[in-house]
Structure 1
């Protein structure tokens, strides 16, 4: 029997390994459960619970099943107090979820001026783009979020003329998808005043001025013609 001593050691090693793996698995499950509790707290707008857990290792970088960080979840849920506290605690304003939304990009698209301001003050990355290859400014211009457009268009080094996958700049998108009403007129005027290039065409070679003429947007045509000189 002595010659089989190694078999006992081998089987014992397997047992220890299996035990260690089971403990690791249990630990990960417990950790996931703990993290989910914080995501649930965001849904409830439970600032106290999130505040109490800020020292928890990995809390700010943990993600849920959709790839959202706590900050991204707070932005989606429109929780301004939590958004501010998480950003001040060091949460990444550029972390993108499975839909390629980040707190900065999504806040811009939704007209969330305060979150955009916070993101700009905490390392907003102007090179990150959404799933359409666009910046925070482009959907903000389309949707008529004048305050956000004014802020971003006048932020030093912001890519005001970035072209998305559709071939549109913020100015082009405001003209093409906008209704031409007073809000869109103000958006176009703001972009032009901030230095947006009205001569950039879309992928088909059509400029914002031509699009405005084709849509009969008289006031916007006047703005674009004035910018052209």
Structure 2
């Protein structure tokens, strides 16, 4: 009797809330009332993806002896979480002040992104990683001075064409997700720049090689 009642309930709810409707509702919530949460967590998770790819490259090149440094991954994740709200509010603000999708508005958005958001993100990355690594503030400032020009130059090569697609074609609610997806690949470069000062691991000496 109980099993028959349970089966009846399952049939009722499966007919009332089909799978596509559940998926659609979840998607709308993720990119609607929970958009800040979505932008924040996708930023952190995709930052992890970029750093893991870079660590694999470093491992294959012999720069690191341990395949994955999970404490480093954790620091990259926490730093990525900071970028989510930063992008969320900045792109929302730009869409309010420049709502049109024409060449003039898109060009202005790209310039605002390059002259305001890009330097802010570079500084945020360096200082937040330095804080998580417990480095003195002066050390992070010196690192920013040393690496800023190089990172900013690469920014100008990657982000203007990327942002043209973003600002011209995509609804604002998907813009941060798109940026996060591109950033996962860009984070390989960021992680390389951040950690390239590590001393390469010495290659082991083969046992059949006798020093002269």
Question: Normalized per residue, which structure has more helix?
Answer: 2
Check whether TM > 0.5: no
The interval holding the TM-score normalised by the smaller chain is under 0.3
Q: Flag the structure with larger Rg.
A: 1
User: Normalising by structure 1, what TM-score?
Assistant: 0.25
